Structure 1
Amino acid sequence: MSLTRKLRRLQPHLLRVTGILVSLCMLSLLIASSVDWDPAYRFTYSWLEYTDADGSPEAVCNCSAILQGDDQVLEHTKLLTFTKDFKKRVQIPDEYYINATQDCRKFKLSRKYITFPLSEEEDNFPLAYSMVVHHKVQNFERLLRAIYAPQNVYCVHVDKKAKDSVFAAIMAITSCFPNVFMVSRPVDVVYAAWPRVQADLNCMADLYNASTTWKYFINLCGQDFPLKTNLEIVRSLRSLNGKNSMESEQMPSGKKWRVERAQRIVDGQIQDTGQTKSPAPFNLPIMSGNAYIVVNRGYVRSVLEDSQILALIEWAKDTYSPDEFLWATIQRMPHVPGSLWPSAKYDQTDMTAIARLVKWAWHEGSEGLLEAVYPVCHGNHVRSICVYGVGDLQWMIGQHHLFANKFDTDMDPIAIYCLEKYLRHKALSS
């Protein structure tokens, strides 16, 4: 029998086998995209786990014992972070990211980015992130990896005065992801001055125009890190029922000078002009808050389009640290989606909001001290803010906040590594 005749006789069988294979593929896709995810299928994601065999210098530490607050392990870990050899081994230079991202597929695989939605619940609730960065590329990349999901959208603002290697490395990283982009209008950020707000505003506008599907906006800086998985963040936001969450309180008398005296930028620093400002437009009550917020899409639309808010923005441009009152004030304008009434009854502190966990030096105290808001910092302080150490982790993961500030790979990379490992395990096993 000729080869041609044999192939003709086999053709129906081949078509049947092909049909079976296609059906099996479709069935596997339906299983993978179902609402009720069977934990039995999670074994296929084991390659995404952070393991001690990954070659990370931090893997020598016992993260489980650290998260349980084992004093002996914590002391050993602290001593390790002080050694020059360890500090040198954990640092990743900017050039690594520039070179590694020449092959984006290999970069995402080696860095274990989660490039598919882990659940339909997350896929149906996309988020928008603004990330304002000026240095420490390693911090930024580890933050991006921790919060990355393909259904979300990310705008990255790099300070115009950042080092060339920082800009090049971050641009190289963002170029590997279709849903991560550099802001269209970067600014020269000045501490405690208007450009810090403008950086977020520019990302807000880009994110609003980039996608119509995201539900909530969250702004971050390069030294933030999540305390929750993406699924936990989604569920926390869904439970808000459309409300926003941020610190927003009556302005303390000691801070009122910030909005009463005009400021200007001179040689990259903010200076008091000595001139008195006019009252806020529309007799708006100016509230006190912080730079970091969790807000719905309607809030962002109001910031970009509402005439009263646009007037408030113009008025705020010559104030001191406008990021610490602008969002909080907008949050108390009753017509803004997800807002609260301006009455003091609706005041919300940073500890009751979910946006950001920050330890201020003057609120810390030892266990048993009733006046303390939280335990003492186990890391270092920068501008009176705790830069977290491994000893802070056990307390932190029990809080309801979505993110915490500050983390620094230069000071305690193990704190970030153990938090990364803890979150990744939760994300893949939940």
Structure 2
Amino acid sequence: MPRGRAIRTCIAVAFVGALLILLFCPSPRILNPHGLSFIPIGYSNDLLDKQESQFFSAITSTNHFNCLAFRQRFPMITQHDGDMNVAFTMVVHKDVLQVARLLRMIYRINNYYCIHLDARSSQSFRKAMDGVAKCFGSNVELVPVEKRVAVEWGDESVLRPQLICAEQALQNDPTWSYLVNIVGQEFPLKTNLELVAALKALNGSNLVEAFPIDRFKDWVGNNTLPLKATWYKGTLYGAFRRDFLHMAVRGKAMAPIREAVLQHKVLQHPDELFFSTLAYNPHLRLPGACLIAPPPITEVNLGFPAKYVEWGDYGIVCPTKYTRFVCILGTPHVSLLRNVPHLFANKFHADYHPEAYDQMEEWYFEKISKEIASGTFANDSFNISVYSSRSCSRQHL
């Protein structure tokens, strides 16, 4: 081999080796009891972001060296998992390693994944996310560049990526029964088998939160809905039947309501109005719509099991910090999160209490290891009655 080529080869090997150490080996100076620390002391966030982006940008297939090194760190389920296929939509804009770690936990070959990148995401993040998608396989798809939305908190642009990804999931994968929507800063509290059990316990309903519009009347002003529908407010996130989403996203009958909520800056937080309004107006006849509207107060806020979030008005002491009125999850929350009935927890910041995410990740994969050995989830640690006893699970279209 020519001397120059040999030198370049050695440099390339050294770079990859150093990057693998950075991404996958804990720094002894901050080694936690689980040995899973990802962020060595002495590296700036900018440097970490750059190196993480380079690592994932290099991936060209599921067999790429970087991909295998990343995915094989924990037990991998390579077979069909569960007897119901699920679609996931993810809205992301930064922290490629955190997004990749989330996908590593929830990925199954029989599910479908649509990922929307904010139109204003950096070029390095976009290239890295291309590599992440290629690492997992053809059932992980990014929203095409020309369809991506620049998301502005509080207006209709927050809702548009959800509709785009739901449409893409309906179009590109005919096998899933429910869709679950999440963001890149969440953590899965349930394995795929547990998630499927929870979705089955809904008994054909949708998992949607709703409040009367009274407290949020200023969000809609004097705007009334077509089709004699009543406004309801709730979180954007939940679990939705395929046929519910088909009508909500594609159905001509619901077009007037879609057009009403997507008007540019006419409403405040229309993302928190759309699904709740459709799910709690049973006369609109959407599949799985709830017959008790609004639901009991025990089924909203922390009683809504799709997502564990500590908002600033819950009367709970936040032991970490607030960002946009949401308590950022960290080390003080680890024990609690392992025992709540919710599907996901929101939100973790990549550079804040990283040891908490490491500990939760190890706990999650310990559950996976037990499922691989037993073939089922641990019934004694997951009470599905939280889902089956919901008012909508018992009374819906």
1:212 corresponds to which of 154, 174, 185: 174
1:360 corresponds to which of 311, 326, 329: 311
CA shift at 1:336, angstroms? 1.5
Matched AA of 2:280: R
CA shift at 1:199, angstroms? 0.6
Q: Quick check: 1:406 aligned with 2:344? A: no
Q: Quick check: 1:321 aligned with 2:266? A: no
- The secondary structure found in structure 2 opposite 1:172 is helix
Contact 1:230 1:427 in 2 (8 A): no
Contact 1:350 1:356 in 2 (8 A): no
Q: Check 1:420–1:86 CA distance in 2 against 1; reply closer, same or farther (3 A cut).
A: farther
Q: Quick check: 1:282 aligned with 2:227? A: yes
In the other structure, the counterpart of 1:270 is none
In the other structure, the counterpart of 2:124 is 165
Structure 2: gaps spanning 5 or more residues: 1-23, 372-397
1:259 corresponds to which of 220, 225, 233: 220
Contact 1:378 1:390 in 2 (8 A): no
Superposed counterparts of 1:129-208, under 5 Å: 129-176=88-135, 177-184=137-144, 185-208=147-170
Q: Quick check: 1:236 aligned with 2:198? A: yes
- The secondary structure found in structure 1 opposite 2:87 is strand
Counterparts of 1:420 and 1:214 in 2: how far apart (Å)? 26
Counterparts of 2:245 and 2:158 in 1: how far apart (Å)? 17
Q: Deviations over 1:55-84 (max 9, x none)?
A: 2349821259xxxxxxxxxxxx9xx99x95
In the other structure, the counterpart of 1:17 is none
Counterparts of 1:196 and 1:379 in 2: how far apart (Å)? 26
Q: Quick check: 1:381 aligned with 2:351? A: no
Contact 2:309 2:346 in 1 (8 A): yes
In the other structure, the counterpart of 1:42 is none
**Greater CA radius of gyration, 1 or 2?**
1
Question: In angstroms, what is the RMSD of aligned CA positions?
Answer: 2.8
Identity %: 25
- The secondary structure found in structure 2 opposite 1:207 is helix
In the other structure, the counterpart of 2:209 is 247
Counterparts of 1:414 and 1:150 in 2: how far apart (Å)? 29
CA shift at 1:357, angstroms? 0.7
After alignment, is 185-194 or 335-344 more displaced? 335-344
Contact 2:310 2:327 in 1 (8 A): yes
Aligned length in residues: 335
Counterparts of 2:300 and 2:197 in 1: how far apart (Å)? 21
- The secondary structure found in structure 2 opposite 1:363 is coil
- Per the normalisation by structure 1, the TM-score is 0.72
Q: Deviations over 1:215-245 (max 9, x none)?
A: 1101111111111111111111111122111
Contact 1:129 1:155 in 2 (8 A): yes
Q: Deviations over 1:353-395 (max 9, x none)?
A: 2211101122243xxxxxxxxxx33322100101111110111
